[in-house]
Chains A and B, each alone.
Chain A
Amino acid sequence: MSIWRYANPAEFMRVSGAALPWVAGGAIAAMALGLIWSLLFTPADYQQGQTVKILFIHVPAAIQAINGYLVMVVASLIGLIRRHHVSFLVAKAAAPIGAGFTLLGLFTGAVWGEPMWGTWWVWDARLTSFLILFFFYLGYMALWAAIDDPEKAADLSAVLCLIGGVFAMLSRYAVQFWATLHQGTSISLSGNQKLTDEFFYPLMVMLIAFLLTFVALLLLRVRTEIRLRRARAIRLANSEG
């Protein structure tokens, strides 16, 4: 069975309708567990003190902000190449969620940086590329909203999204390319993690919680976009008939 069948709005609505309650339930459960664990049951770090608790929000928000943009890039690319409208709607629906997580990453980074670095903000490569990523999110949403014709809006905003993808990748890998005030990666898929278990496990729970929250909100918003598109088609048909 081809993956492209999900590009059919009816098929997407059927599958996402069945998946959404499970994903949303998982997100709520993981978020509740992660918040209680990270706030109440993790010790103060020997260097950072209690401010380490900010990182249980900051790290998942920042990772999901970048991953959210990469979801938009892939969806936009598929939309441009294969002309699947659901792909454009996935990118459109992901933007406000990603922008929210980016803002959260910026804010939590600032309130953590003030006591730890002695400054709310520095213009280093990681922070600057992350701020530019936030502006791309805003620009993408503004472009969709500014163009009345949805086909044209989808195409132009997809192109803008692809350009912004450079900053998403830059933001992801800036700490490896340049010497930045922002520290390097503490966790990785290869298992080369620099955290002790008492911080690592609650952080993993929060990463899963943010991922599930992103997916749940994305499914909900794509379903809304599909319904709005259908409503628009009916209104158009009525006005022509």
Chain B
Amino acid sequence: MIDKFVRSVAEAIAGIKDGSTVLIAGFAQVGEPRALIDGLIETGACDLTVVHNTAGRGREGVARLIGEGRVRKIVCSFARSRGSVLFEEVYARGGIELEILPQGTMAERMRAAAAGVPAFYTPTAAGTKLAEGKETRVINGRECILEYALPGDVALVEAWRADRWGNLVYRDAGRNFNPVMAAAAQLTIVQTQQVADLGELPPETIVTPGIYVDRVVHIECGDPPVKIE
């Protein structure tokens, strides 16, 4: 019997090596696998490359991982932004390497990794500072830059419902980076708000097929925080 469920966050997160590339999903705290991030901090893993939309906000989650000095390099589309205090402290003292990517290029680099495409040309960022040092080519009259696939050693994902094969569905805007990160990593670890029996999720509604998923832990963490910005 295939059963990807594990009983604890510690079990879910076990075995992440120092130096790993960790893809961490979530957007504006929606669909963000907070329990798994906390679990990763608990393991003490360090020298990590983290791929996440931002360099963290506030003092929790990815911000805390950076603040505790576990992240050698952050790959993100929003570095300095409102609330990125811990990143800015560490960055100011040269304690973290930064790779800034356009958000869509970041997503597409992971999709390429998931799909076995080693690199692709894109017009995004052509002719800008972000193209510096990147291979450029004019295709159909348009300047494009070469971007390489961005695979993860590990992906941390939050689902709304999961079954024991690791089939996943997401809730509303909680989908965001989750499916593309789940598919782009060697070891995909999921926290799910709800558990479905095998066969209960209608096949046409499954967003992430279980083939991409290695471990699932049931964490009822409730709604994301309401924003008052």
A and B: bona fide binding partners: no
Residues of chain B whose beta carbon lies under 8 Å from any beta carbon of chain A: none
